[in-house]
Amino acid sequence: MAKSAKKERAVRAAADGRAGSPAREGKAKSATKAKAKSRDKPGAKPGAKTDAKVDTKPAAKPAKRQLEPRLQHAALCFREGMGGEPEILLITSRDTGRWVLPKGWPKKGETGGASALREAGEEAGVVGQAIAEAAGTYRYDKTMSEGPCLHCRVEVHPVAVAYLDFRFPEMRVRKRAWFTPAEAAKAVDEAELKDLLAGFTRLPPPEPEREPEPGREPDPRPGRA
C-alpha cells in the first residue's frame, strides 16, 4: 500500500510540473495576446480572418456634363409709347409666373428672327415684324420636368409689334403687360437680360421687302434687286 501511494504522489507531482512549465506558460501568453489584438481591430469578429481583400473594381464614371449651352431665340416685342419712348412687352412664365420674354427652341431650317416671331405669336399673341439684327444675348438655366437643368444661351431679336391678338395658343396660361425699359429691367431675373432691357432704345421700323419693278424679274442673288 505504501508503494502504491508513493507512486500516485509521484505521478501527480510530474503532472503539476508539466502544467506549470515555462514553455507551456509562454505558449499560453502568446495565444492570449493574439486574441486580444484581433479584438482591438475595428470591425473584427471573433475567429474572423484579419487579412481583408482590397477592392480593385474601378470607380463609377461621373455623369457627362453639358458641354455647350443650348440655343434659344427670344422676342423683344416693342411699340412706341407716350412721348415717343419705347415700351416692352413681357409675359409670365408657365411654371413660376415670373416676368420673361417670349422664347423657345428653333425649328429645323428656321432663322433666329423667324423663331422669335413665332414664339411671340404663340405665347403673347403678337402680330408684327422681326428686325434681322439681334439685340444681344443672355444665359439662364432652364428647369426641366425630368433630369438636370439645361444651360441655355438666348439670342434676343427685336420685334416691332403691329397689334396684339385677343386669342392665341397660350392665352389661358400666361399674362402679358407693357413696361418701360427701366421697369422691364427690374421685372426680370437674369442679370444679362436686365442690362439688355435697360439699355434698349427706340429702333426704326423694319424696312418692307422691295417689290420688283414691272417687267423685271428679281435677281435671285442675295443683296441684288
Residue 224, pLDDT score:
42
Residue type present at position 219: D
Which cell numbers hold the place of 133?
Answer: 439684327
Proportion of the chain above pLDDT 70, given as a percent: 59
For residues 105 and 95, give the distance between their C-alpha atoms in angstroms, rounded to a whole number. 17
Residue type present at position 225: A
Has residue 35 got a pLDDT over 60? no
Q: 153 exposed, middle or buried (CB, 10 Å; 0-12, 13-18, 19+)?
A: middle
Superfamily of domain 70-198 in CATH is: Nucleoside Triphosphate Pyrophosphohydrolase (3.90.79.10)
Is the separation of the CB atoms in 223 and 146 below 8 Å?
no
Residue 221, pLDDT score:
46
Of 89-103, 179-193, 197-211, least confident by mean pLDDT is 197-211
For residues 50 and 33, give the distance between their C-alpha atoms in angstroms, rounded to a whole number. 15
Does residue 79 or residue 26 have the better pLDDT? 79
For residues 19 and 25, give the distance between their C-alpha atoms in angstroms, rounded to a whole number. 8
Domain range annotation of the chain: 70-198
Provide the terminal-to-terminal Cα distance of the chain, rounded to the nearest Å. Answer: 146
Q: What is the 3-state secondary structure (H, E, C) of the chain?
A: CHHHHHHHHHHHHHHHHHHCCHHHHHHHHHHHHHHHHHHHCCCCCCCCCCCCCCCCCCCCCCCCCCCCCEEEEEEEEEEECHHHCEEEEEEECCCCCCEECCEECCCCCCCHHHHHHHHHHHHHCEEEEECCCCCEEEEEEECCCCCCCEEEEEEEEEEEEEEECCCCCCCCCCCEEEECHHHHHHHCCCHHHHHHHHCCCCCCCCCCCCCCCCCCCCCCCCCCC
Residue 7, pLDDT score:
62
Residue 148, pLDDT score:
75
pLDDT tens column, 49-74: 555 555 566 665 555 555 688 999 99
pLDDT tens column, 190-224: 999 999 999 998 666 565 545 555 555 544 444 44
**Mean pLDDT computed over 24-47:** 55
Residue 32, pLDDT score:
58
Residue 222, pLDDT score:
43
Has residue 145 got a pLDDT over 80? no
pLDDT tens column, 148-163: 788 999 999 999 999 9
Has residue 23 got a pLDDT over 70? no
Strand partners, 160: 78, 129
Which cell numbers hold the place of 141?
Answer: 438655366
Proportion of the chain above pLDDT 90, given as a percent: 49
Has residue 18 got a pLDDT over 90? no
**HSE of 206 in the Cβ direction (CA atoms, 13 Å)?**
19
pTM as predicted: 0.61
